[in-house]
Amino acid sequence: MIALQQSVFEQAREEVRAGHFAQAWEIAGTEQRPLQRAQARTYVRHHAGDLDGALREAHAGLAESPRDAWLLAQATEVALALHHGAAAARTLADWRAAGGSEDAQALERAGRELDELRAAELEAQAGVRRARWISGLAAAVVLAALLTLTRRVR
For the chain, 154 residues long, the average pLDDT of each consecutive 10-residue run is: 72 96 96 96 97 97 94 96 95 88 86 92 87 89 86 72
DSSP-assigned letters across all residues of 74-133: HHHHHHHHTT-HHHHHHHHHHHHHH--GGGHHHHHHHHHHHHHHHHHHHHHHHHHHHHHH
Q: How many domains does the chain have?
A: 1
Q: If phi over 0 gives left and psi between -120 and 50 gives alpha, with beta otherwise, what is residue 111?
A: alpha
Q: In this structure, is residue 44 part of a structural domain?
A: yes
> How far apart (Å, rounded) are the C-alpha atoms in residues 107 and 122?
22
Residue 67 confidence (pLDDT)? 93
Please report whether residue 62 resides in a domain: yes
Q: What are phi and psi of 50, to 5 degrees?
A: -90, 80
Residue 20 inside a domain? The answer is: yes
Residue 127 in domain:
no
**Domain contains 45:** yes
In this structure, is residue 55 part of a structural domain? yes
| CATH number of the structural domain spanning residue 68 | 1.25.40.10
Give me the pLDDT at residue 49, please. 96
Query: Which residue range(s) make up the domain with 87?
Result: 8-109
Separation CA 57–CA 75 (nearest Å): 9
| Closest CA relative to residue 61, chosen from 30, 34, 90, 97 | 34
Residue 135 included in any domain: no
Name the nearest CA neighbour of 116 among 126, 124, 127, 104. 124
pLDDT value at residue 3: 44
Whether residue 101 is contained in a domain is answered as yes
Angle of the 8-17 helix axis to the 21-29 helix axis, nearest 10: 170
pLDDT value at position 100?
63
Supply the pLDDT for residue 9.
Answer: 95
Radius of gyration of the chain (CA): 24
User: How buried is 111 (Cβ within 10 angstroms: 0-12 exposed, 13-18 middle, 19+ buried)?
Assistant: middle
